[in-house]
Amino acid sequence: MIKLRIFIIILLMLNMGFVSCDKKPVISDGNLQVTPQKTFAIGEYYKITKHSDREYSLILYGKGKNVIKEEEYPKEPSVNLLKDGILQVTISTGSPASYVHYFDIISNKVSDVYFNPILAQNGKIVYMNEGELIVSDIFDKTKIFKKIIRDFSPTANPASAVLGARFQEGNKLYIDYLSGAEEKETSEIIYLNQ
């Protein structure tokens, strides 16, 4: 009798699992809908459409659904909303390589593309460029707040030498990084206005 009850419960659970997968959205949070056939990210400010196995398009919308930028990608881009109203669009090309650009949903600004940025926050971005750690305006690479030259450990991906970074009090950058050939873990506070 107990075996029969267990068997019926298992059948009911399997049946509920199959019914819930009947081409309905598997995930739906208002901005992301995933079905077994296609992935569509639909939000107020962006839309991702899958055209084929190897082609996706991304449309960034401004106010009134005006198209600000439209691009095609060989892989599905990942779109995240940062807390300061900036969309982060990431195309991964392998671990840990990615190309990222940003879209300000308030001002409709679109950034240049960054390779493996370390931190994007408060309108600033931290990234490696030719062995230097750069802190600049996200939407204007020529507006540099600080170039930081240290003995960063040589790594296959230069950004991997920086273990962590965070802004504090607007003008301070805390960084943890690997230093020298021996990869000594180092922590430092950098004042951006000095």
- pLDDT for 94-131, tens place per residue? 877 899 999 998 899 999 999 999 999 989 999 999 99
Residue 56 has pLDDT above 80, yes or no: yes
* pLDDT value of position 83: 79
- Residue 70 in contact with residue 57, Cβ under 8 Å? yes
Higher pLDDT, 147 or 12: 147
Q: What is the pLDDT at residue 193?
A: 86
Q: What is the pLDDT of residue 18?
A: 38
Verdict on whether the full-model pTM lies above 0.85:
no
pLDDT at site 67 = 94
pLDDT band of 170, cuts 50, 70, 90: confident
pLDDT at site 162: 95
Q: Calculate mean pLDDT across residues 40-60.
A: 81
- At 175-191, the pLDDT tens digits run 999 999 999 999 999 99
Averaged pLDDT of the chain: 81
